[in-house]
Structure 1
Amino acid sequence: MRERRPTVAITTRLYLPEVTAASFRMHALADSLCSDHDVTVLTSRPPTGIADSGMLHDSPVTVHRAPVLRDRTGAIRGYVQYMSFDIPAFFRVLATRADVIVAEAPPTTGLICLVASWFKRKPLVYYPGDVWTDGVIAMGAAKPVIAVMRWLETRVLRGARSILSVSAEVTERLTALGADPSRILEVGNGIDTRVFNAAVEPQRTERPYFVYTGTMSEWQQPDIFIRALANLEFDVDIRFFGQGAAEAQLRELAAQIAPGRVYFGGVVSPAESASWIRGAVGALVSIVPGIGYDFARPTKTYAAGACGTPVLFAGAETGGQVVRDGDLGEAVGFEAQEVAAAMTRLHQEAQNGRTDQRRHARSEWITQHYSLAAAGERAADGVRSALIATARTH
């Protein structure tokens, strides 16, 4: 008789084909685990119009999707939206066979999975991409909201058998919130180089363009790129792909100061996102310094570097250091004039051939240092270790 394989239930709001850092991260984990575990992913239905990118075809991972409330941009953002996923997810986890439960952020999802793990007497592995308490502080939330989020996050961190961290900076913040350092495994982060690479067919447009992909939020404030664009004296556009709370303001600002030069393409598949990045003069990435997210290393940087496209990073030191370490492009302060000067330099490099000369080296550096497959395997080892540790205590 065939021995029963261990089972894993992964609970995450976001999963492929949605193009988010969390989607890629959780897919990499599931993909790495399925070699020796039966893996079930409990997630949400993607927004209308997002097609299957093909990355899930022939996957042995079982994916169960449920309806969820989304805001007008298609994002699951806000307490009502979170609850529309979390409350049904609690019962879905209870009804799913699992020897170990993995929960992705936010802490509300972590908490319902923690409670479910108590009922099922199974270990919980918490896999946050960042620190949500810092996020609500950065957004200027009221003190009671911050206090509740801090309590939720601390409760999940202290109750989890294991915590998977994406960077040393995140590890430091998780420890400050009360996580036991001995339970934290730093697995790193990265990008799927099977999708994002220098061999991708680039998009062709009438005019050269910079590209911004992913979330448009208060702690990124990508309006700085539109303000810089308005000061440029050469013809170049910006193309935004993704969604977020700042999108409406970006559209309004673009209409006022750069009419006809800024385009919003909505949410696209990973493959289409890679094509737009590959054809760009540069990929735009930003983290507002001094509001609580200075530790962030945006996945946008890895995606651009994997395609060999120069990164223009504006803002906090940590994200800029990644760009400098890999000679991935330009890292400047969060000032429109500095951004405009960097855009000018990257436009010149695209014109004189420097961008294409550096493309392969940039792509190779990302593959060596920020492979999502490697990060996914390290995360899978963390899940396996939690399962083994639990078995030893019973």
Structure 2
Amino acid sequence: MSSKVLLATRLYPPEVGAAAFRLQALTRGLTDAGADVSVLTTRPPRGTDDPRPAKGVKRWPVLRDSGGNVRGYVQYMSFDLPLFFRLLAARADIVVSEPPPTTGLMVALSSWLRRRRYVYYAADIWTDALAATSAPAPVVSIMRSIEGVALRKALKVIAISQGVADQTRQFSVDPSRVVVVGNGVDTETFSPDGPAAEPGYRYFVYTGTMSEWQGAEIFIDAMEEVLLRFPDVRLHFFGQGSAEAALKEKAARMADDRIRFGGVVPPAEAATWIRGAAGSLVSIVPDQGYDFAKPTKIYAAAACGTPVIYAGKGASAGMVAEGGLGYASGFSSTEVAKAMIRLLEEPDHGRAARAAWVEDNASLRTSGRHAAAEVLRAIEEGR
């Protein structure tokens, strides 16, 4: 008899995002191992309906913000509260929970009532990111308590990196119940092979989430210095996030249309823009409690062979430097501008090596299989 696994997540393809792709890879890994998988998720925003709904994916209407995202406490609750009752009605050997912590709390409560176990898939420490924003201290404190409950009550915590695993210690999680499975990207979509954008000028690209703790405004400031040397260069942003409006406002103060925002695009289109870029830009504001993170956009860029400029410090800076993925820069516009100018001046001969590094170290296919194995192992441990 096959094991029955239930995934609880507000994000799942066809929505675009690292969490959605990671859980899809987990689902494939579980299915390949013979498990029966069901996914409790949201109805995707208009314009992204999947013409071929995946088997076992059960969707529920949800409130979204003006950008079409399930982001914000009201939006979270519109998913989490119905989820609680959906979980109570569902049969499973084990449940897998994805952040935010409010979803983890619903999974923890329903699992206690149903007397079954759950696994918490920790892609990050959610409240560390929240604390790096302008969120009120009482809100951070409450959410940290909720995240602690979700982590401690899990039979197993699956972390995407050693940095995330280490951060779980602040919640008094038993280290023996935390496993690292790695993170990655779809190396079939993000690869050096395929079309590259040719807009008629050189450009840099920023893809993915634009949050306060990422500090992407550093690249807009750096562009002012870059344009003094290379007035033909442009900067393209693709994605969305809480800082998007502020970034657009800052970019609008420049004299012309040299910084452009393309919104959320399908992965294949993002890969096209990454392949054609002089460099892909990634940043994390240092000393905000998030220096341990390794953004997926680093892997996506390197998988396409494109050099990365990482502004910040910590785990990502070391990975970019040691892996030969591009340049690690201090978090200052002057240092970032120097790295951007260097990429514009020097020929790039490292595309194949970067793509090979990602295939060896950050394939989503591999991390999905590892995560699936840990979930199935948790079922046996629970028995």
| Fold match (TM-score > 0.5) | yes
Q: Which secondary structure does the structure 1 equivalent of 2:309 belong to?
A: strand
| 1:46 equivalent among 31, 44, 47 | 44
Equivalents in 2 of 1:348, 1:74: separation in Å?
40
**Aligned equivalent of 2:269:** 272
Equivalents in 2 of 1:128, 1:70: separation in Å?
23
Matches within 5 A, 1:139-154: 139-154=133-148
In 2, are the aligned partners of 1:16 and 1:24 still within 8 Å (CA)?
Answer: yes
| 1:31 equivalent among 28, 53, 58 | 28
Equivalents in 2 of 1:51, 1:76: separation in Å?
16
Equivalents in 2 of 1:267, 1:147: separation in Å?
32
In 2, are the aligned partners of 1:216 and 1:246 still within 8 Å (CA)?
Answer: yes
How many percent identity over aligned positions? Answer: 51
What amino acid is aligned across from residue 189 of structure 1 in structure 2? N
Q: Which secondary structure does the structure 2 equivalent of 1:257 belong to?
A: coil
What amino acid is aligned across from residue 301 of structure 2 in structure 1? A
Equivalents in 2 of 1:334, 1:100: separation in Å?
43
Deviation >3 Å, runs of 4+: none
Q: Which secondary structure does the structure 2 equivalent of 1:75 belong to?
A: coil
- How many residues align? The count is 379
Q: Aligned-pair distance for 1:51? A: 5.9
**Aligned equivalent of 2:122:** 128
**Aligned equivalent of 2:360:** 368
Matches within 5 A, 1:282-293: 282-293=279-290
In 1, are the aligned partners of 2:15 and 2:44 still within 8 Å (CA)?
Answer: yes
Q: Deviations over 1:216-259 (max 9, x none)?
A: 01001111111111222211111111111111111111110252
Q: Which secondary structure does the structure 2 equivalent of 1:101 belong to?
A: strand
The answer as to 2:350 corresponding to 1:358 is: yes
| 1:377 equivalent among 344, 369, 375 | 369
Equivalents in 1 of 2:84, 2:287: separation in Å?
36
The answer as to 2:292 corresponding to 1:295 is: yes
| 1:204 equivalent among 190, 198, 202 | 198
Q: Aligned-pair distance for 1:317? A: 2.2
Q: Aligned-pair distance for 1:79? A: 0.7
**Structure 1 residues 207, 51: closer, same or farther in 2, change over 3 A?**
farther
Comparing 67-76 with 322-331, greater Cα deviation is found at: 67-76
Equivalents in 1 of 2:321, 2:4: separation in Å?
42
Q: Which secondary structure does the structure 1 equivalent of 2:7 belong to?
A: strand
**Aligned equivalent of 1:10:** 7
Equivalents in 1 of 2:11, 2:158: separation in Å?
17
Q: Aligned-pair distance for 1:24? A: 1.4
Q: Deviations over 1:187-209 (max 9, x none)?
A: 11111101111112111212111
Q: Which secondary structure does the structure 2 equivalent of 1:18 belong to?
A: coil
The answer as to 2:322 corresponding to 1:325 is: yes
**Aligned equivalent of 1:89:** 83
Q: Which secondary structure does the structure 2 equivalent of 1:34 belong to?
A: helix
Equivalents in 1 of 2:201, 2:89: separation in Å?
53
Unaligned runs of 5+ residues in structure 1 are: none
What amino acid is aligned across from residue 362 of structure 1 in structure 2? R
**Structure 1 residues 24, 101: closer, same or farther in 2, change over 3 A?**
same
Unaligned runs of 5+ residues in structure 2 are: none
**TM-score in terms of structure 2 length:** 0.95
Measured on the aligned residues, the alpha-carbon RMSD in Å equals 1.5
**Aligned equivalent of 2:246:** 249
What amino acid is aligned across from residue 38 of structure 2 in structure 1? T
What amino acid is aligned across from residue 353 of structure 2 in structure 1? A
Equivalents in 2 of 1:38, 1:348: separation in Å?
53
The answer as to 2:168 corresponding to 1:174 is: yes
The answer as to 2:74 corresponding to 1:80 is: yes
**Structure 1 residues 341, 50: closer, same or farther in 2, change over 3 A?**
farther
Equivalents in 1 of 2:31, 2:198: separation in Å?
38
Q: Aligned-pair distance for 1:310? A: 0.6
Q: Aligned-pair distance for 1:273? A: 1.1
Equivalents in 2 of 1:123, 1:213: separation in Å?
36
Equivalents in 2 of 1:51, 1:89: separation in Å?
21
In 2, are the aligned partners of 1:241 and 1:265 still within 8 Å (CA)?
Answer: yes
In 2, are the aligned partners of 1:50 and 1:269 still within 8 Å (CA)?
Answer: no
Q: Deviations over 1:34-77 (max 9, x none)?
A: 1211111111122333365x9xx696x52122221121222221
**TM-score in terms of structure 1 length:** 0.93
**Structure 1 residues 184, 258: closer, same or farther in 2, change over 3 A?**
farther
Equivalents in 2 of 1:50, 1:316: separation in Å?
36
**Aligned equivalent of 1:99:** 93
The answer as to 2:193 corresponding to 1:214 is: no
